[in-house]
Structure 1
Amino acid sequence: MRCPAAQRPPRAAERNLAKRPAAIRLARARTGGLPMSRPAGRRQPFRRLSLLASLLATCGTALALAFPASAGAAPHLAGVQSHVLWANVSNAEMDRQLDRMKQLGAGITRVDVGWASIEPDAKGQHDSWYLGRLDHLVQGANARGIKLLLLFAETPCWASTAPGSLKQGCQGAWWDRDVQNYAPRRMSDYADALAFVVKRYGDQVYSWEIWNEPNQDYFFHTDDPVGEYAKMVRAAYPAAKAADPRPIIVAGSLSDSDFEFTDALYRHGVKGYFDAWSIHPYSDDRSPLDTAVDSPRYSLVLGVPAVRDVMRRYGDAKPIWLTEFGWSTCNVRGPVHWQNCVDRSTQATYLKRAFRKMRTWSYVPVGIWFNLKNTSSAPDDRVGNYGLLSQDDSPKPAFAAFREIAHELQDGSSASPPPATPPPSVTPASLPPRHVLRRRHAVVHVARRDSTIVITGRAPRRAVAKLLVFRQDARTGRFERRASYRWRFAVGRHGHFRLRLHGGVFRSGTWRIVVRPTGRAHWHKAAAVLGG
Structure 2
Amino acid sequence: MLMTAVMLIGTFLLSPFLGKSNPVTASPAIASSGPFTIYLPLVMRNFPLQTVFGAEMAQLTSGGGLDQMAAANTSWTRRNAVLWSSVESAEGTYDWSAMAGLESELQNASSKGIRVILIVRSTPQWARKIAGSGASCGPISQGKLPAFGSFMRALVARYSVSPYNVKYWELWNEPDIDSSYFPGDNIYGCWGDQNDAYYGGGYYTEMLKAAYPQIKAADPQAQVLVGGLLLDCDPRPGAGCAIVGHDSKPAKFLEGVLRHNGLNDGGNYFDGVSFHAYDSYQGQSGQYGSPNWQSAWNTTGPVLIAKTQFIQSLLDQYSVSGKFLMNTESAVLCDSCSNDSTFETTKAYYVAQAYAAAIAQGLRANLWYSVLGWRNSDLLNGDLSPRPAYTAFQFARSELRDAAFTGDITGSDIGGVTGVKGYKLNRGDRRIWVLWSLDGASHSITLSSLPLTTWDALGNSVTPAVSMNVSLNPLYLEWNP
TM-score, normalised via structure 2 length: 0.59
Question: Take 1:215 and 1:385, find their aligned partners in 2: how far apart are those partners?
Answer: 25
Q: Who is 1:107 aligned against? A: 75
1:277 matched to 2:260:
no
Q: Who is 2:146 aligned against? A: 188
Structure 2 counterpart of 1:198, from 148, 152, 156: 156
Structure 1 counterpart of 2:84, from 116, 131, 136: 116
Q: Who is 1:240 aligned against? A: 215
1:326 matched to 2:324:
no
Q: Do the aligned residues in 1 keep the contact of 2:280 with 2:333 (CA within 8 Å)?
A: no
Structure 2 counterpart of 1:84, from 59, 68, 76: 59
- Over 3 Å counting, the alpha-carbon distance change for 1:294 and 1:412 in structure 2 is closer
Structure 2 counterpart of 1:131, from 92, 99, 102: 99
Amino acid paired to 1:324: E
**Which runs of 5 or more structure 2 residues have no equivalent in the other structure?**
1-9, 13-47, 183-187, 235-250, 297-302, 412-419, 423-481
- Over 3 Å counting, the alpha-carbon distance change for 1:191 and 1:384 in structure 2 is farther
1:385 matched to 2:376:
yes
Q: Who is 2:63 aligned against? A: 93
Structure 2 counterpart of 1:402, from 377, 390, 393: 393
Q: Who is 1:367 aligned against? A: 366
Question: Take 1:288 and 1:126, find their aligned partners in 2: how far apart are those partners?
Answer: 50
Q: 1:412, CA displacement in angstroms?
A: 3.0
Q: Do the aligned residues in 2 keep the contact of 1:289 with 1:301 (CA within 8 Å)?
A: no
SS at match of 2:80: strand
Question: Take 2:84 and 2:253, find their aligned partners in 1: how far apart are those partners?
Answer: 26
Q: 1:106, CA displacement in angstroms?
A: 0.8
- Over 3 Å counting, the alpha-carbon distance change for 1:143 and 1:310 in structure 2 is same
Q: Who is 2:113 aligned against? A: 145
Q: Who is 1:31 aligned against? A: none
Question: Take 1:289 and 1:331, find their aligned partners in 2: how far apart are those partners?
Answer: 15
Q: 1:113, CA displacement in angstroms?
A: 2.1
Question: Take 2:213 and 2:81, find their aligned partners in 1: how far apart are those partners?
Answer: 20
Amino acid paired to 1:331: S
Amino acid paired to 1:327: V
Question: Take 1:356 and 1:328, find their aligned partners in 2: how far apart are those partners?
Answer: 19
Amino acid paired to 2:160: G
Question: Take 2:387 and 2:11, find their aligned partners in 1: how far apart are those partners?
Answer: 34
Question: Take 1:297 and 1:153, find their aligned partners in 2: how far apart are those partners?
Answer: 31
SS at match of 1:142: helix
Q: Do the aligned residues in 1 keep the contact of 2:73 with 2:397 (CA within 8 Å)?
A: yes
Q: 1:409, CA displacement in angstroms?
A: 3.0
SS at match of 1:279: strand
- Which of 284-293 and 148-157 deviates more? 284-293
Q: Who is 2:358 aligned against? A: 358
Write out per-residue CA displacement over residues 220-248 of structure 1, whole angstroms, 9 at most, x where no aligned residue: 15535223212112222111111111121
Question: Take 1:274 and 1:409, find their aligned partners in 2: how far apart are those partners?
Answer: 29
Q: Who is 2:293 aligned against? A: 295
Q: Do the aligned residues in 2 keep the contact of 1:328 with 1:342 (CA within 8 Å)?
A: no
Q: Who is 1:264 aligned against? A: 256
**Which runs of 5 or more structure 1 residues have no equivalent in the other structure?**
1-62, 66-72, 86-90, 168-178, 334-340, 375-382, 425-532
Question: Take 2:343 and 2:366, find their aligned partners in 1: how far apart are those partners?
Answer: 22
Write out per-residue CA displacement over residues 18-71 of structure 1, whole angstroms, 9 at most, x where no aligned residue: xxxxxxxxxxxxxxxxxxxxxxxxxxxxxxxxxxxxxxxxxxxxx999xxxxxx
Q: 1:114, CA displacement in angstroms?
A: 2.4
Q: 1:119, CA displacement in angstroms?
A: 2.0
Q: Do the aligned residues in 2 keep the contact of 1:329 with 1:342 (CA within 8 Å)?
A: no
Amino acid paired to 1:119: V
Q: 1:263, CA displacement in angstroms?
A: 2.1
Q: 1:271, CA displacement in angstroms?
A: 0.8
Q: Do the aligned residues in 2 keep the contact of 1:329 with 1:347 (CA within 8 Å)?
A: no
Write out per-residue CA displacement over residues 437-493 of structure 1, whole angstroms, 9 at most, x where no aligned residue: xxxxxxxxxxxxxxxxxxxxxxxxxxxxxxxxxxxxxxxxxxxxxxxxxxxxxxxxx
Number of residue pairs aligned between Structure 1 and Structure 2:
320
Q: Do the aligned residues in 2 keep the contact of 1:152 with 1:209 (CA within 8 Å)?
A: yes
Write out per-residue CA displacement over residues 195-217 of structure 1, whole angstroms, 9 at most, x where no aligned residue: 21111122511311111111112
SS at match of 1:282: strand
Write out per-residue CA displacement over residues 473-516 of structure 1, whole angstroms, 9 at most, x where no aligned residue: xxxxxxxxxxxxxxxxxxxxxxxxxxxxxxxxxxxxxxxxxxxx
Question: Take 2:147 and 2:294, find their aligned partners in 1: how far apart are those partners?
Answer: 35
Amino acid paired to 1:254: L
Question: Take 1:193 and 1:115, find their aligned partners in 2: how far apart are those partners?
Answer: 11
Identity of paired residues, percent? 26
Q: Who is 1:460 aligned against? A: none
Q: Do the aligned residues in 1 keep the contact of 2:55 with 2:370 (CA within 8 Å)?
A: yes
Q: 1:262, CA displacement in angstroms?
A: 2.2
Amino acid paired to 1:153: R
Q: Do the aligned residues in 2 keep the contact of 1:116 with 1:180 (CA within 8 Å)?
A: no
Amino acid paired to 2:360: T
Q: 1:128, CA displacement in angstroms?
A: 3.3
1:310 matched to 2:329:
no
Write out per-residue CA displacement over residues 313-366 of structure 1, whole angstroms, 9 at most, x where no aligned residue: 222221111111112353169xxxxxxx9821111111111111111123x121
- Over 3 Å counting, the alpha-carbon distance change for 1:107 and 1:197 in structure 2 is same
Q: 1:83, CA displacement in angstroms?
A: 1.6
Amino acid paired to 1:406: R
Q: Do the aligned residues in 1 keep the contact of 2:192 with 2:253 (CA within 8 Å)?
A: no
- Over 3 Å counting, the alpha-carbon distance change for 1:229 and 1:349 in structure 2 is same
Q: Do the aligned residues in 2 keep the contact of 1:330 with 1:343 (CA within 8 Å)?
A: no
SS at match of 2:269: coil
Write out per-residue CA displacement over residues 79-135 of structure 1, whole angstroms, 9 at most, x where no aligned residue: 0111217xxxxx6625xx221220121111101122335425212322232232232
- Over 3 Å counting, the alpha-carbon distance change for 1:92 and 1:252 in structure 2 is closer
Q: Do the aligned residues in 1 keep the contact of 2:369 with 2:377 (CA within 8 Å)?
A: yes
Output the aligned Cα RMSD. Answer: 3.6
How do 1:493-512 and structure 2 match up within 5 A? Answer: none
Q: Do the aligned residues in 1 keep the contact of 2:86 with 2:98 (CA within 8 Å)?
A: yes
Amino acid paired to 1:321: M
Amino acid paired to 1:275: D
Q: Do the aligned residues in 1 keep the contact of 2:118 with 2:169 (CA within 8 Å)?
A: yes
Q: Do the aligned residues in 1 keep the contact of 2:286 with 2:349 (CA within 8 Å)?
A: no
